[in-house]
């Protein structure tokens, strides 16, 4: 065992994953969590790895779903969270759902059985002041409900708009699923380079869409989230409720746009590239709190999106996250002090599995450095690497992202059949991970 030490702040999925990986390698690790002395508004269990919302870790299908592929990548890398899920799963079809009590108990028992892991119950209110050339490291994995004191300290370190306190993201669809015969390209008033895909609606289509939007079922928000989120970013369904024509003079305004015949549509949804290569497009201004199945049903009523493949659904919830591309390196280390790492949803990854993956990747980076081994690099052929690229690539409007095939590097040769393409992407990813184990 060496004399290096790692402080992990936060006992959620990312922190538990990181602490276990490091401690199992004989690295002296301290896991600090403010429970049970203090709880966030969403937590109630004293155990580590508590699931506060759904008990599902999404699809377990390795070859058809990017989150399923990410789980397999993590299994190969020695993930505690996926091990716990596999051992406490409950019937849920193709999804990996768990008994949440047994899941947290499994993680807690594993952590407390590590001889090189010390568990401390206290609230950390400031980022540690570790010397860049010292022997100590820290991983900040305090989650979407980071305490006010620590949030204030992080915000002060980042300055400006470096810390966000809610997540209001619009859906993303795959480029190939957009029906371009029912759309046209071009920028408003002809300005720009024609990068937008415009999805027009006639009068009947627009009002049918609005009626469906108003009747759609919304996701549950905690009481402490409601005011903050809706003041910060208005959901498209809330805007529609202000009047049936509100969207035509806002998010879906057709002013300055004309189709190939020079005709201005009754209403228009604009799609903007989400990736440089153009494999995915963002529904501009469509922040929403609709349930995921409702988003697919209602937004697919827009003619150009009738067969849309949703790579990510829109979300709106309390989620403290940093402007990662401006402050984090690809390995989740802090640009201003590489002894400090961030992990979990605070980095701008979205979802249980993605959060745990970031904790695992941060721990791997630290372990490699401490052990003097060549640093393992995960590139965009893997979901792990694609998430690392997402949190470290400069962008004007950084938004949290979950695992999806649209963020992976394209295959050398195009495969038209989606099922076969996803299988090929998964097989390639797993080969890369096996080579980096």
Domains present along the chain, CATH in parentheses: 5-168+318-436 (3.50.50.60), 172-313 (2.40.30.260)
Residue 437 burial by Cβ neighbours in a 10 Å radius (0-12, 13-18, 19+): exposed
**Distance of alpha carbon 370 from alpha carbon 26, whole angstroms:** 11
The residue written with tokens 């970013």 in the block is: 233
Instruction: List all residues 6 or more positions away from 129 whose beta carbon is below 8 Å from its beta carbon.
Output: none
Beta strands at 89-90 and 95-98: parallel, antiparallel or unpaired? antiparallel
User: pTM value?
Assistant: 0.76
Residue 209 burial by Cβ neighbours in a 10 Å radius (0-12, 13-18, 19+): buried
Backbone φ and ψ for 277, nearest 5 degrees, come out as -75, -10
Whole-number Cα distances in Å, 205 to 202, 208, 265, 302, 313: 5, 5, 11, 7, 22
Per-residue confidence of the chain (437 residues) as pLDDT tens digits?
Answer: 467 899 999 999 999 999 999 999 999 999 999 887 776 655 567 899 988 767 789 899 999 999 999 999 999 999 999 999 999 998 877 889 898 889 999 999 999 999 999 999 998 899 888 777 678 999 999 887 788 888 888 888 887 667 776 666 789 999 999 999 999 998 888 776 777 899 999 999 999 999 999 999 988 765 545 554 444 467 899 899 999 999 999 999 999 999 989 999 999 999 988 776 788 898 988 989 899 999 999 999 999 999 999 988 887 766 788 899 999 999 999 998 899 999 999 998 988 999 999 999 999 999 999 999 998 989 999 999 999 999 999 887 788 888 999 999 999 999 989 999 999 999 999 999 998 76
**Distance of alpha carbon 30 from alpha carbon 18, whole angstroms:** 11
């Amino acid at each position: 065992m060496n004399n290096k030490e790692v402080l992990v702040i936060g006992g959620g999925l990312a922190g538990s994953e990181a602490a276990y990986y490091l401690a199992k390698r004989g690295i002296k690790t301290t896991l600090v969590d403010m429970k049970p002395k203090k709880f966030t508004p969403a937590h109630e269990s004293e155990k580590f790895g508590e699931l506060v919302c759904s008990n599902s870790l999404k699809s377990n299908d390795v070859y058809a779903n990017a989150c399923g592929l990410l789980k397999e990548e993590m299994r190969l890398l020695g993930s505690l969270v996926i091990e716990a899920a596999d051992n406490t799963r409950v019937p849920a079809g193709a999804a990996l759902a768990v008994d949440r009590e047994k899941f947290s108990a499994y993680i807690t028992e594993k952590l407390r059985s590590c001889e090189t892991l010390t568990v401390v119950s206290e609230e950390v209110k400031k980022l540690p002041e570790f010397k860049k050339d010292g022997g100590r490291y820290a991983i900040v994995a305090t989650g979407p409900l980071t305490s006010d004191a620590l949030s204030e300290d992080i915000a002060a370190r980042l300055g400006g708009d470096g810390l966000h306190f809610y997540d209001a993201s619009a859906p993303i669809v795959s480029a190939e699923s957009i029906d371009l015969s029912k759309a046209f390209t071009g920028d408003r008033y002809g300005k720009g380079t024609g990068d937008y895909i415009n999805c027009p609606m006639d009068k009947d289509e627009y009002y049918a869409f609005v009626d469906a939007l108003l009747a759609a079922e919304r996701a549950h928000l905690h009481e402490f989230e409601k005011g903050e989120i809706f003041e910060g970013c208005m959901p498209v369904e809330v805007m529609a409720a202000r009047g049936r024509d509100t969207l035509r003079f806002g998010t879906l305004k057709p002013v300055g746009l004309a189709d190939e015949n020079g005709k201005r549509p009754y209403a228009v949804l604009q799609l903007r590239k989400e990736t440089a290569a153009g494999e995915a497009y963002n529904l501009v201004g469509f922040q929403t709190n609709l349930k995921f199945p409702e988003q697919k049903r209602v937004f697919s009523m827009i003619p150009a999106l009738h067969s849309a493949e949703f790579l990510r659904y829109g979300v709106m919830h309390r989620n403290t996250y940093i402007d990662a591309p401006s402050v984090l390196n690809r390995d989740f280390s802090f640009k201003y002090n590489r002894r400090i790492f961030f992990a979990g949803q605070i980095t701008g990854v979205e979802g249980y599995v993605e959060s745990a993956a970031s904790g695992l990747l941060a721990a791997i980076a630290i372990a490699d450095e401490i052990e003097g081994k060549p640093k393992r690099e995960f590139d965009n052929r893997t979901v792990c690497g694609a998430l690392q690229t997402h949190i470290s690539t400069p962008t004007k409007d950084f938004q949290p992202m979950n695992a999806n095939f649209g963020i992976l590097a394209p295959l050398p040769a195009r495969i038209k059949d989606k099922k076969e393409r996803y299988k090929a992407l998964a097989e390639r990813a797993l080969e890369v991970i096996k080579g980096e184990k």
